[in-house]
Structure 1
Amino acid sequence: MPGFRFGMVKVFLDGVVEHPAQTAALLDPYLDGQGGPAPNRGGLRTSAADYGRLGAAFNRAGRCTPTDSETGRYAPLWVDTRTPVR
């Protein structure tokens, strides 16, 4: 698209906590209707290796990559992949 420019790319690492989707990547399982643990902890959208490659590619292109995650399950992935990108 001629004249189209962007300065950053925002990366969403997981989904949402709200029912019924419950796609955010949790450390502990979601609760079922009776308050017990359900078999779902949400899904990881990418691997650490893929996320690291994505961040490195955007950094080489001079773009910042703010990252959004609903929960703490992605924190180790984010820390592990951001260190070598710098």
Structure 2
Amino acid sequence: MKELTLDDLRSLMRLSAGEDESIDLDGDIIDTTFKDLAYDSLAVLEMASRLERDWGVIVPDEVAATLETPRAVLDYVNERAAVN
């Protein structure tokens, strides 16, 4: 499986909860918290669901709640994808 990139994740974020017009997802968001990006826990859970469906990586709800930044999601998904 190919590596999940920040651009891939941005697309998933937009599909999961849209995009707050005051937030520039195309900017340097890798270490910005989802809270600061205006993504609530439901949006993060939706993103986790899409990661499972589209990327084949299971992100349990209790794990998704601990992934606070795009970097954390990328690290989690890419580490598990490398094992599969």
TM surpasses 0.5: no
If you compute each CA radius of gyration, which structure gives the higher value, 1 or 2?
1
Q: Whose helix proportion is higher, 1 or 2?
A: 2
Return the TM-score normalized by structure 2: 0.32
Return the TM-score normalized by structure 1: 0.31
